Amino acid sequence: MNTAGANQTGNSVDLSKIKRGPIVLALIIGAFVAILNETLLGNAMPDLVQELGVTYSTIQWLTTAYMLVIGVLVPVTAILQEWFTTRQMFLSAMILFFAGTLIAAVAPGFELLLVGRVVQALGTGLMLPVMMNTFLVIFPPEKRGGAMGLIGLVIMFAPAIGPTISGLILDSLPWRWLFILVLPLAAVSIVCAAAFLKNVTTVTKPRVDILSIVLSTIGFGGVVFGFSKAGENGWSDEQVYWPIIVGCVALALFIWRQLRLKSPVMDLRAFKFPMFTLVTVLLFVLMMTLFSSMTLIPLYLQGALFLTAFKSGLMLLPGGMVNGVMGVVSGKLFDKFGPRVLVIPGLAIVMLALYLFTGFDANTSTGYIIAIHIVMLIGLSLVMMPAQTTGLNQLPPHLYPHGTAILNTLQQVSGAIGTALFISIMTNGTKDYMSGSKDPTNPGEIANGVVAGVHDAFWIGLIIAAVAFVIGLFIRRTKAPAPEGHPAGSPGMH
């Protein structure tokens, strides 16, 4: 990378001598195991309920707590990256993740397993924004598409193979092996990072506003918790609406405070850049659709086609693999042609796939389902990383940590909202169908009930995708503003 790029970021670090390859390797391995770990446990829930002697609503905490910790931690990563070096942040994240995995692997009961998951989540929440920010700093804008495509490969490929791998492991080994097998990979990432990872950002140590962190924690934590409970408890439950109300009030106060502070925890001035704002809204809407399909398709496969968890995981694998490869391809195409050529057709493909999903029934062939799933993930891969890169490219370098923190936080929140929304739509659709059924205990009728619920949810998904398509029409190629555009006192001025 040219030294001009290094100077532009306000780094005292000379980026021209940085070896990108080893840094990328350490970051990618770390992110892969952390994200893989998010979907590994899905298939293991029935086994864990039996082995640990707890209820399904209790075991859900392994997922809820994980999402909650990440939702709370990611917003403060921008300020943490201004206090600690890239190397300190990433190594701390991976060591935390390794420790959490080890605790979970040896946990004698549910309580310690939950502690392990929380420690793992602390590592994951720290790592993802650090990885994205590091890529933005070490790659010049004209090579960023391909680099962000690598992140896309990991973010899409790891969750796709998670259910299949966990199905394979659980067929022949106890659930602890889900954690034991992750340990060597986490260890490799720590060794690579310790050997090769150099600091690529300037530590400015701005004043930390504790009240902002408290408001952020209550705000994002309340919203993520409330929506994650809505899927299982319904919207009228106190555990759902009170956390959402309190969370929204705290978020409003958090936003007001960030706009008044000289050194905000999350610098919302990133929203002054129109393409970043547009992309943030687009990804928020699109992530709801992505999470909904990742939740609904396995429910449909197991509830209507009566497939096992392992078989349903296996059916989703080809789509995930194609998506991973396409992430890298779309990144390279983005560098060459810009975002519009990819994002608009990608959103059209997602809409087509969701429309075809609304035609599924209890007799749909598995080959057809796999094909449509692949089509949808090709569409998503054309949108996700190109859109994200476009938005971040418009920011001045001192806002990179804040931009990545904003995008990562809102993706967590939209995931929680999307999953809750679509599960509740599906549940209500199934209930409505079964209430009019003459033989509600008949397996064929149960399957039809699931199909009816899934249809309702996918129609809503299609409407949301149409909104994303309209937003996508306004996307344009962006360039970072000149360095003199920095506000006074920002790192870029030093």
Q: pLDDT tier at 8 (50, 70, 90 boundaries)?
A: very low
Cα 407 to Cα 177: distance, rounded to the nearest angstrom: 33
Lowest-pLDDT choice from 275-284, 310-319, 478-487 = 478-487
Cα 418 to Cα 232: distance, rounded to the nearest angstrom: 13
Cα 239 to Cα 226: distance, rounded to the nearest angstrom: 7
Q: What is the pLDDT of residue 14?
A: 56
Tens digit of each residue's pLDDT (9 = 90 or more) over 133-146 = 888 888 887 777 78
Q: Are 460 and 422 in contact (CB under 8 A)?
A: yes
Cα 185 to Cα 207: distance, rounded to the nearest angstrom: 36
Output the six-digit token pair for 249. 């009030």
Q: What is the pLDDT of residue 141?
A: 78
Instruction: Report which listed range, 48-62, 234-248, 305-319, is most confident.
Output: 234-248
From-to residues of CATH 1.20.1250.20 in the chain: 1-205, 271-479
Cβ count within 10 A of residue 368: 12
CATH level 2 (architecture), domain 1-205: Up-down Bundle (1.20)
The rounded percent of the chain whose pLDDT value lies above 70 is 91
Q: What's the average model confidence in pLDDT over 38-50?
A: 76
**Is residue 294 classed as helix, strand or coil in its secondary structure?**
helix
User: What is the sign of the dihedral through the CA atoms of 176, 182, 188 and 189?
Assistant: negative
Cα 100 to Cα 118: distance, rounded to the nearest angstrom: 7
Cα angle for residues 33, 300, 418 (degrees, 5° grid): 60
Q: What's the average model confidence in pLDDT over 319-331?
A: 83
Burial class for 205, CB neighbours closer than 10 Å (0-12, 13-18, 19+): exposed
**At residue 305, what is the residue type?**
L
Q: What's the average model confidence in pLDDT over 243-247?
A: 92
pTM, two decimal places: 0.78
Of 3.40.50.2300, 2.40.30.30, 1.20.1250.20, 1.10.760.10, which CATH number belongs to 271-479?
1.20.1250.20
The rounded percent of the chain whose pLDDT value lies above 90 is 19
Alpha-carbon distances of 360 from 203, 351, 452, rounded to whole Å: 53, 15, 10
Alpha-carbon distances of 488 from 163, 242, 257, rounded to whole Å: 49, 41, 19
Tens digit of each residue's pLDDT (9 = 90 or more) over 367-377 = 999 999 999 98
Q: Are 266 and 405 in contact (CB under 8 A)?
A: yes
Q: What are phi and psi of 479, to 5 degrees?
A: -130, 150
Q: What is the pLDDT of residue 118?
A: 92
Q: What's the average model confidence in pLDDT over 378-389?
A: 88
Closest by CA to 381, choosing from 429, 425, 343, is 343
For 121-132, the DSSP string reads HHHHHHHHHHHH
